[in-house]
């Protein structure tokens, strides 16, 4: 019964997330130039979500039928795409928060720091780190599948006493992901506090912000992404039994990211950039 619920949830993510993220990516590329850091980070975030979504059909098939029709290498790819989404999405969302923090709190001093070239370099570094981490993680998971002689994701239906799909190195990577998520969450909390303080107390700064509700909605959504979707699935290192349910929950994040794009570009940041430009001319 639970397997059917997992299949339905992953199916919903595909049905809702694929068109939403594909449309968001098209809009970002078509109507918003990649000359701003926010646009660069959001394009990479949309790509990360789409990579997760294309891995979900095989999860749906497994949970609906109880069978894995492909080889272990395909299983590893599906698993890595999911884990990569959690890691890359958390970093790109944090980059967006920091960029918005600099735009609101330090609009003039950060102008030369907030460039598209630096954003692309940061995005490339994120993807490089994600891929490098995948190498030892994939090797460890491959050994587990060979030794356990089970189908892909079958370990997720195991009891507490069943072996976890990781050796010492993979366990260390799990802890690395947990530390990464807590670090990114801390950065988001600090960014939210500073922006909220600037908007509410520093009227000479917040006067440049035309839609303060959108500003705080962006930061509130970012915090929700971490506390509801990213952290629980990273804590699974302590609660292997709940991995399937937490994985379903985490996959829902890609259906909400398009809202982040909407609030970021709902006429607000363009006006903000126009103000920065006029201030620079003065």
pLDDT tens for the chain, 282 residues long, are 788 999 999 999 999 999 999 999 998 888 777 888 989 999 999 999 999 999 999 999 999 998 888 888 999 999 999 999 999 999 999 999 999 899 888 888 888 888 999 999 999 999 999 999 999 888 888 888 777 667 787 755 443 334 455 566 777 888 899 999 999 999 999 999 998 888 877 544 444 555 677 788 889 999 999 999 999 988 877 777 788 889 999 999 999 998 888 877 654 344 444 434 433 333
pLDDT for the residue numbered 128:
97
pLDDT for the residue numbered 209:
54
Q: What is the dihedral of CA 39, 42, 48, 52, to 10 degrees?
A: -140
Give the Cα separation of 194 and 196 in Å (integer): 5
pLDDT for the residue numbered 270:
44
Q: Which residue has the tokens 């929950």?
A: 249
Q: What is the pTM of this model?
A: 0.87
pLDDT for the residue numbered 148:
67
Domains of the chain, by residue range, sit at: 2-281
Best CA proximity match to 86, nearest among 231, 243, 236: 231
Evaluate whether 217 touches 268 at the Cβ level (below 8 Å).
no
Q: 78 is written with which tokens?
A: 């599906």
DSSP class of residue 109? Answer: T
Q: Which residue has the tokens 């969450």?
A: 185
Give the Cα separation of 75 and 269 in Å (integer): 41
* CATH match for 2-281 among 2.120.10.30, 1.20.120.420, 3.40.1480.10, 1.20.1070.10: 1.20.1070.10
């Amino acid at each position: 019964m639970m397997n059917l619920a997992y299949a339905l949830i992953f199916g919903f993510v595909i049905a809702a997330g694929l068109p939403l993220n594909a449309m968001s990516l098209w809009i970002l590329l078509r109507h918003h130039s990649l000359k701003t850091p926010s646009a660069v980070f959001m394009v990479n975030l949309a790509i990360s979500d789409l990579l997760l979504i294309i891995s979900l059909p095989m999860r749906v098939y497994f949970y609906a039928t109880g069978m894995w029709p492909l080889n272990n290498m395909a299983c590893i790819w599906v698993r890595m795409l999911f884990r990569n989404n959690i890691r890359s999405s958390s970093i790109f969302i944090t980059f967006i928060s920091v960029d918005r923090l600099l735009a609101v709190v330090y609009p003039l001093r950060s102008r030369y720091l907030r460039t598209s070239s630096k954003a692309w370099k940061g995005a490339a570094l994120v993807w490089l780190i994600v891929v490098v981490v995948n190498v030892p993680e994939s090797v460890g998971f491959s050994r587990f599948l060979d030794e356990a002689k089970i189908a892909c994701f079958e370990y997720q239906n195991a009891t507490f006493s069943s072996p976890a799909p990781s050796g010492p190195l993979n366990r260390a990577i799990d802890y690395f992901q947990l530390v990464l998520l807590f670090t990114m969450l801390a950065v988001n909390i600090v960014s939210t506090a500073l922006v909220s303080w600037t908007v509410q107390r520093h009227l000479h700064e917040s006067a440049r912000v035309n839609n303060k509700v959108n500003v705080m909605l962006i930061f509130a959504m970012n915090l929700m992404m971490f506390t509801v979707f990213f952290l629980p699935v990273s804590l699974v290192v302590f609660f292997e039994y709940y991995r399937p349910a937490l994985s379903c929950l985490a996959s829902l994040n890609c259906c909400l990211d398009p809202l982040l794009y909407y609030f970021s570009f709902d006429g607000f940041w363009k006006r903000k950039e126009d103000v920065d430009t006029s201030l620079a001319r003065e």
